[in-house]
Structure 1
Amino acid sequence: MQDFEPKIIAFCCFYCAYSAADLAGSLRLQYPANIRVIEMPCSGKTDVRVLLEAFEDGADGVYVLGCMEGDCHFLKGNFRAKRRVQQAKKILDEIGIGGERLEMYNLSAAMGPRFAEIAREFTERIRKLGPSPLNKSYAPSGHGEDGREAVNSTKAGEQE
């Protein structure tokens, strides 16, 4: 799909990942404009429900950015986030959306260039995968707005 521009949500912990995003902006590093950065007090606050709701709301890809392992300001928040991302990936695989649309990364506040690199790489990954099955703005032809196949409203055996 040539005109497909993925909608991507990045949940960033305040202390490290969000600071890395801020540094990337200060350095004027280029990364795709389709990334919506959401600041979290800690990556450990992103639970499975929040991750799955991002897909329900039309995201084509989601990633969580936390502190470096062992350096979480809330001690084990990034380990909690990692477990939750793994749980959500399994659910996405089971329901047919695909766990590869969700990822977890660890950054320090000084890793602005790495933040931009992750944004570019993840966007390219999602472009190759195409729109999420839940993304209503890319419903295949012959399907309604909700992505389901259009059904004729007449009952079986009735003439129009």
Structure 2
Amino acid sequence: MEEKFDPVIVAFVCNWCTYTAADLAGTSRLGYPKNIRLIRVMCTGMVDTQYIIKAFLEGVDGVLVSGCHPGDCHYINGNFKARRRMKLLKTILPQFGIEENRLRLTWIGASDGIEFAETMQRLVGQIRELGPNPARAQQII
């Protein structure tokens, strides 16, 4: 019997919106995959692309950056900065042998616990379809 691939996903989530939605999903007992490692940041605009590239090079199968909806950022324009960085990073990732579909940017508001849980389930399914990160074979996670 074939063993099911269980991807490792790192999610950089905004303290004010997506992290709060994750907390709401948990307190509402909404299920979402346990193989997602949440890293709470004050703002998605503070997520340095170096951290994302390092995660991929160390074998993480997918990375999510998620925060406040555009126009609702607690730091005025942090999510616009994040959007520009992710667009640029998606053009750079193939140079490292990493498919751009392994990186996702989403906007999930604080009251969207259901959307958070559904997004995480979809993300795991989509990364599972891509298979393991090629760098994973060279690293121990």
Q: Do the aligned residues in 2 keep the contact of 1:48 with 1:87 (CA within 8 Å)?
A: no
SS at structure 2 position matched to 1:82:
helix
Alignment-derived partner of residue 85 in structure 2: 84
SS at structure 1 position matched to 2:79:
helix
Alignment-derived partner of residue 67 in structure 2: 66
Alignment-derived partner of residue 110 in structure 2: 109
Q: Do the aligned residues in 2 keep the contact of 1:51 with 1:62 (CA within 8 Å)?
A: yes
**Percent of residue pairs bearing the same amino acid type:** 45
* 1:127 maps onto 2:128 in alignment: yes
Matched residues in 1 for 2:3 and 2:91: separation? 29
Once the two structures are superposed, the pairs formed by residues 17-96 of structure 1 within 5 Å of their partners are: 17-96=18-97
Q: Deviations over 1:59-105 (max 9, x none)?
A: 10001011011000000000111111111111112332110000100
Matched residues in 1 for 2:25 and 2:77: separation? 26
Alignment-derived partner of residue 6 in structure 1: 7
Matched residues in 2 for 1:43 and 1:58: separation? 22
Is the deviation greater in 15-24 or in 93-102? 93-102
SS at structure 2 position matched to 1:32:
coil
Gaps of 5+ in 2: none
Residues paired across the two proteins, number: 138
- Asked which structure has the greater CA Rg, the reply is 1
Matched residues in 2 for 1:100 and 1:94: separation? 14
Matched residues in 2 for 1:104 and 1:58: separation? 19
SS at structure 1 position matched to 2:135:
coil
